[in-house]
Amino acid sequence: MTSSNSGSAHQQAKDWVESISKNEWTKPAAAVAGTLASLGLIRMYSNGPVYKNSVNLKGKVVVVTGANTGIGKETCIQLAKMGATIVMACRDPSRAHRAKEEIVKLSKNEDVDFIRLDLSDLSSVRQFVSDFRKKYSRLDILFCNAGVMALPRRETTKDGFEMQFGVNHLGHFLLTNLLLDLLIASAPSRVIVVSSYAHTFGKIDFDNLQWERNYSGFAAYGASKLANILFVKELDKRLKQSAANVSVYAVHPGAVRTELPRYILSSWWKKLLVTPILPLTYLLLKDPYHGAQTQIRCAIDPTLQQSSGKYFADCKEKMPSAAARDDQVAEKLWQVSEELVGWKNK
C-alpha cells in the first residue's frame, strides 16, 4: 500500500514558493502560489491513502449494493478492471443501467450485470437472491455498500422498520445470510460491510430499535452504523465456529462527496446554512475513488485474512468504539435481527 500524500511534492512546492517570494515584484504571485500549494496539500491529505495493489479476479463474482453511484460505482469500476464479474444490486433500473454503461466503458469489461434490489423491502431482498441464484452458482465478494443517512423525519420501510435501521442493517443482514451458503461454497470469499465513524455516537436501544420515541436522524444513522459493526463481529464469530473460510470486514470510507448526505439539504434553511461552504467540500471531502480504497483493500488484500471481523478506515485496521466491541450486544442484536426479518439459520 502506498500513500498519495507525497513528502517530496510538499518540499518541491515549498522550495518553489520560497524562490519566487525573494523577488519584490513576485510577492503577490508568491502569496497566491503559497495559498494554492497549501490547498493542494490539504486536498491530498483529505483524500487519504490509495491501495495500489491489484489481483486477477477473472472468474470471480462480486455483488455490490448501491452500485450505481458514489463509492459503490467506483468499487465496481476498479474490480471490473481486475476482471471480476460484477453484479450491481440497485433499486432504480434506469440509474443502474446508466451506471453500468459507464462501468463497462471505463473498465473495458463487459461482465457487468444488474439485478434489482430494494433494501427497504425484504421481499425484494428475497427476490434478488432468487434471481441471483438463477444466473450464478458462486459468490466471491459481497459488498454491503448501500445506505441512507440522516433522514430529517422518521420514515419506515415496507416492513415497518425505521428506514435507516431497516436499510443499512436489516436489509443487508438478510441479504448476507441468504447468500452465505454460496459464499462458503466459493471460499475463500469475503463480505465487506460499509459502516461509518458515525457509529461512535450510536447506541443500540433494544427497547426503541425502531425510533418510535425521540427520533433523531443523526442518532438513528449512528445506531445503524453501530449495528453494521456488531453484525460483522457476530458474523465473524459464527463463521469461525463453523470453520468457514469467509472473511468479513467493517469499513469506514471516510467523509466522501456522494449522494448519501442528500437529506442534510432537505429544507431551505439547511440549504441557506450549508450552500456557502459547499466549495470547501472539494478540499475537505474525499472523492469516490479515494473513498472506495479501504473497502477495495479489504476485498482483495491476501494479507488481511487474519484480520476478519475487524474495523478498517484509511486502509488500516482501526479500533472501533467500546459499544462496537460488546460481544453480548452483538449476539443479542443478531438474535433480534433474525426475528425481525423472519430468518433463522438452520
List, by residue number, the catalytic residues: 221
Give the up-direction half-sphere exposure of residue 293: CA atoms within 13 A in the CB hemisphere.
23
Element holding 28 (H helix, E strand): helix 27-47
Between CA 247 and CA 250, with CA 249 as vertex, the angle to 5 degrees is 165
- CA dist 316 and 51 (Å) reads 10
Element holding 89 (H helix, E strand): strand 85-90
The sign of the dihedral angle between the CA atoms of 302, 304, 308, 309 is negative
DSSP of 188-206: SEEEEEE--GGGGG----T
- CA dist 57 and 109 (Å) reads 12
- From 204, 55, 30, 62, select the one nearest 138 (Cα to Cα): 62
Q: List CB contacts of 154: < 8 A, sequence separation 6 or more.
A: 162, 163, 211, 212, 215, 220
